[in-house]
Structure 1
Amino acid sequence: MQLYGALILCVTLSAACALKCYTCTAADPKSCTDTTTCPVIFNRCFDLVTKGCQTSVLCVGAVSCCEGDLCNGTIPTGPSAILLLVSSAILKLLF
């Protein structure tokens, strides 16, 4: 029962905070380590030649967009990684 509480807490905290994305204007996207908190109107992160915040309406064509904090990086971090670990633990206990 405590695991369900932890899962609900993680989901609530990640929903309450503004979206965070990796940002850069470098020609080499692998050097993008800076993060920014996106304004409310932006609900996606994008990864093209540069990285940053975007609205879902503009995620068309060659623009690769994703949902979730820091999803436009290469390694999952933050609440999404915690949520993944907690959900994996719940599934392991149940099945």
Structure 2
Amino acid sequence: MKLCGALIVLMTLSAACGLRCYTCTAADPRSCIDTKSCPVIFNRCFSLRVDGYDMVTKGCQTSMACVGAVACCEGDLCNSVMPTGPSVFLLLVSSAILVIFL
């Protein structure tokens, strides 16, 4: 029962803190290590790479502005170059299933 209470508190705190995204303008996307708590109106993280330029821009965005060359994603720090959090877990689980059944 204590575990359920702790999970509810953690989920409430994470929702109250808002979305976190990587933010930068850099030539190398891997150099984006700064993070930012997005204002309430922003519900997506974005990455923008313009063809012909060696620059990438990352930050917070609204879902309505996620068009064209703007690649948007949902979830904390989802606009990183390296897979993080749940995506790493899903990658590991799918690899394990392939190894077991193939």
TM-score, normalised via structure 2 length = 0.65
How much has 1:68 moved relative to structure 2?
Answer: 2.0
| Alignment counterpart, residue 62 of structure 1, candidates 59, 69, 87 | 69
Q: Distance in 1 between matches of 2:11 and 2:2?
A: 14
- Write out the 4+ residue segments of structure 1 that deviate beyond 4 Å after TM superposition: none
1:58-80 per-residue CA deviation (whole Å, 9 max, x = no partner) reads 11233221122212122436xx7
Amino acid at match of 1:17: C
Letter in 1 for 2:14: S
Structure 1: unaligned runs, 5 residues or longer: 85-95
Q: Which residue identity is paired with 2:4? A: Y
CA contact (8 A) 2:17 2:37 kept: no
The number of residue pairs the alignment matches comes to 79
Q: 2: distance between equivalents of 1:58 and 1:68?
A: 17
- What is the percentage of aligned positions where both structures have the same residue? 71
Give the 5 Å matches for 1:1-95: 1-49=1-49, 50-73=57-80, 74-76=82-84
CA drift of 1:37 comes to 1.9
Q: CA deviation at 1:12?
A: 0.3
SS in 2 for 1:51: strand
Match of 2:98 in 1: none
Moved more, 24-33 or 58-67: 58-67
CA RMSD after TM alignment: 2.0
> Which sections of structure 2, spanning at least 5 residues, go unmatched?
50-56, 90-102
TM-score, scaled relative to structure 1: 0.69
